[in-house]
Amino acid sequence: MQARLRDTLRRWKASIFSRIFSFAVLGLAITLALGLPSLTQQPVVISFLMLAPETPLFEPLIAEFEEQNPDIRIQMVEGPNAPNLVEDLNTSALLLGRSPYDLINLDVVWTAKFAAAGWLLDLSDRLSDEQLAAFLDSTVEAGRYEDRLYRIPWRTDAGLLYYRSDLLDTIGAAPPETFADMMEAAQTLQSETDVNWGYLWQGRQYEGVAAMFVEVLSGFGGYWIDADTLEVGLDLPESIEAVRFLLDTVDAGVSPPGVTTYQEEETRRLFQSGGAVFMRNWPYAIPILDADASPVQGMVGIRPMIGTPEGEGAGCLGGWGWGIVSSTPHPEEAWRVVEFLTSEAAQRQNAMQGYMPSLRSLYSDPEILATHPYFTDLFEVADNTVLRPNIAQYAQASDILQRYLSSALSGRMTPEAAMQAAANETRNLLGRFADRSTEEEPIEPVGSISSPATPLAASNLPVEPAPLTDSPDLSVTVTVKAEEPTPAIAPMPELPIAPSIAPSIAPFVEDVA
């Protein structure tokens, strides 16, 4: 009897423990499903569109970030090679509704457009004044719109003056401080040596001519558009003098007649072949010119852009930075990605590949200087820049300047008429039209449109154009010069580019494409 009782108690206890265990397992399962989402939830995905040539640069950075942040995955979508196509794709996605991207890699001239449309989150409170002070001032200012910060820079760029140090040494001349110094040294060397040309610049009708001209304009003490007041300075005496200076370089034989068809690579190849004393270009050319196969290896110096005693020599600011799309469902995770990609560690890796950092400290970093000693000189270049107008209508304003400036440089319009017309059309774009008078015959600039009231494509600007109902006629008048045949220019040699350098050229040159 007692044995049966003990056996019954043993079975009863086993049943109780079994039921307790089952309830415990069930409770743990419920807890895992409801109480511990971090153990079951998938990582947040942060995506962005990237220029095709720069995707290899970010692959190791993304791997490092994901290792440190297992709750976030980064999806980098490879885009086209040209920045304007990447801009169009981002714009189209935003116009159609919620963008598939959480971040936008912003060119320096895109910030105002995207911010004005409400497509970017305000990042003003994300960084302290002390943290912002670590960046180059110009790179921070380029990320502001209406006193709010929308873009954090991860690299910068700036126009600069290249010179043949060996040739200047032969005449005992120092690197020029002004345009007049440069012209004098160039003409002396052209007469005393076998160098063909004195000064190379980008004169073709594209964004590069606007970037080049804003430097010359600053050098003469002028300005294009004041982004704060929207005042236009293209028809001021300083602007006319800037155009005349460029024409004078050609008329004096210092610049080749074909310079009005040159982009960055045409000027770089001609300079690298030993064909010129001075060249305006971007920093991408530094390692190419100093490569082992380069005819001018060890003969080239760099300095910030020059000007006149009345102006300020400054290089046109370029570069890229990160903005957060306002419709992202993951703003905090997106910010963590931005923090990492703009950090000192990430920018050091980029600088080792030749990219100019936006952080001041890296220009004196021993590790970087060991392989890129020219960064010491680049700091002065990066710290002396001029911004293109930081306005929402920048694309349209640039098109206006390019068309009329090209007409002046090609001789189709006088400098006065071209700049007056450009100023009037720009004021009309900005809703600040001013009367003007002229006595010359009307002519359309190269690449112009028949109507002054060009509809603004939605893909270019999400802002309505200024009304034109009260605007006077915008026909432009000039005296037409008889066309003269352009002198034949000998083809420029195709110079070798070191394999390790070639992949990095496109992002720099495409900045102004």
Q: 379-400 pLDDT, tens per residue?
A: 999 999 999 999 999 999 999 9
CA dist., res. 263 & res. 255, Å (int):
14
Query: Is 249 within a domain?
Result: no
The pLDDT assigned to 15 comes to: 55
Tell me the chain's radius of gyration from C-alpha atoms: 29
CA dist., res. 498 & res. 502, Å (int):
6
Query: Is 357 within a domain?
Result: yes
* Count of residues in the chain: 513
Domain containing residue 129 = 44-156+318-370
Residues 324, 152 contacting (CB under 8 angstroms): no
Model pTM score: 0.81
Query: Is 20 within a domain?
Result: no
Is residue 202 scored above 60 in pLDDT?
Answer: yes
Q: 358-379 pLDDT, tens per residue?
A: 999 999 999 999 999 999 999 9
Query: Is 350 within a domain?
Result: yes
The predicted model gives 459-466 an average pLDDT of 34
Query: Is 311 within a domain?
Result: no
Q: Which of 53-62, 132-141, 148-157, 475-484 has the lowest mean pLDDT?
A: 475-484
- CA angle 376/382/85 to nearest 5° reads 125
Spell out where 137-290 has E strands: 144-145, 148-149, 152-158, 160-164, 197-200, 276-281
Backbone angles phi, psi at 492, to 5 degrees: -80, 140
Query: Is 88 within a domain?
Result: yes
- CATH label of the domain that carries residue 335: 3.40.190.10
The pLDDT assigned to 488 comes to: 40
Is residue 487 scored above 60 in pLDDT?
Answer: no
Q: What is the DSSP letter of 77?
A: E
User: Which residue, 208, 280, 283, 269, is CA-closest to 497?
Assistant: 269
Q: Which of 209-223, 409-423, 491-505 has the lowest mean pLDDT?
A: 491-505
The pLDDT assigned to 477 comes to: 31
Query: Is 341 within a domain?
Result: yes
User: Which residue, 209, 173, 233, is CA-closest to 407?
Assistant: 209
Identify the residue with better confidence: 27 or 373.
Answer: 373
The pLDDT assigned to 443 comes to: 46
Buried b (16+ CB within 10 A) or exposed e, 370-386: eebebbebbbebbbbbb
Query: Is 302 within a domain?
Result: no
Which residues lie across from 281 on neighbouring strands? 160
The predicted model gives 463-486 an average pLDDT of 34
- CA angle 199/204/205 to nearest 5° reads 145
Number of domains in the chain: 1
The predicted model gives 229-241 an average pLDDT of 98
Q: What is the mean pLDDT of the chain?
A: 85
Tokens representing 396? 């349209």
How many other CB atoms are there within 10 angstroms of residue 344's CB atom? 14
In the chain, % helix, strand, coil (3-state, to 5) comes to 45, 15, 40
Q: 239-284 pLDDT, tens per residue?
A: 999 999 999 999 999 999 999 999 999 999 999 999 999 999 999 9
